[in-house]
Amino acid sequence: MFIRLVEASVHGDDATRLEYIYSELIIPALEEIEGCIFAGLLKNLEQPKKYMSLTIWVSEQSASAYVESGQFDNNVDQVRPLLEDSAEWKIQLSRDNTIKYSPVSNSPVVKSYPVEEDEHPITEEVSTGRSYLRIISYKVKEGAQKEFADIYTSEILSELKKIEGCKYAFLVDNSDNEGEMLSISIWDTLEHVNLYEEKGTADGFLARVKHTLGDLYQWKMALDQRSSSKTITSQDIGIDKYTLITGKKFRQ
């Protein structure tokens, strides 16, 4: 399985137009693409102008064929007038599994990741109702990626999936990109997400892997222990929450 995340920000007045185009034009177009098994538009809960397109593919080859055919560019062209000018970087996973960067203007940010199969396919979960996604980006220090992944997959994921409201969770190894690891979980409601955080469960999971995180995080954590003011913020580990605006599972 292979997923592509395409991030973009829209002008404030164009959000409704973007949602319409995605639902009425882009999803039907993707349904005709061989190998695409799900497409959905997600909206960032804390940054309302920020959207993300999530597509799930049977293989990296099918996703690459979609890009190389020019159909991805055609879909982007339909919404490009709605996008804010950006100095973001375009991130594309190449055929040899290396990350390549190139600066773009007024274009979405593309991230592509291989995902291991599970007994409960992600397509069955993310396409049910109005799902909520919680995406965490960890910066793991050099040499600690395997230890982080071992702890996360053997201890944290199994417990996370048992928490009420959590429908699916998986870890994406993007360690070639400055040691980044992504934890993605799918939830029934925003209330379940908030309860998971407010009860301290999320912090408990973080405590198990904090020794593997980068030097900046370790330094800020040390400051926290010496001061009554909190220096570590959610942005230090990149926590984003999205709601599924529209989505559809395709038959392949």
In this prediction, residue 140 carries a pLDDT of 86
Half-sphere exposure of 39 (CA within 13 A, CB side): 23
Question: Could you tell me if 40 and 101 lie in one domain?
Answer: yes
252: in domain: no
Question: Could you tell me if 112 and 135 lie in one domain?
Answer: no
Q: Which uninterrupted H or E stretch holds 76?
A: helix 71-79
92: in domain: yes
199: in domain: yes
Question: Could you tell me if 31 and 72 lie in one domain?
Answer: yes
Q: Provide the whole-model pTM.
A: 0.75
Starting at the earlier edge strand, list the strands of the sheet with 50-57.
109-114, 2-9, 50-57, 36-44, 239-249, 132-139, 180-187, 166-174
CB 84 within 8 A of CB 10: yes
Question: Could you tell me if 91 and 155 lie in one domain?
Answer: no
Q: What pLDDT digit, counting tens, does each position of 94-147 carry? A: 455 454 445 445 566 777 766 765 655 677 777 666 789 998 888 888 888 899
Q: CA separation (Å) from 16 to 11, 19, 43, 126, 230? A: 10, 5, 11, 22, 37
Residue the block writes with tokens 């185009």: 21
Give the number of domains in the chain: 2
Domain that holds residue 176: 125-240
Q: What pLDDT digit, counting tens, does each position of 160-212 carry? A: 989 999 988 888 887 776 778 888 899 999 999 999 999 999 989 988 988 88
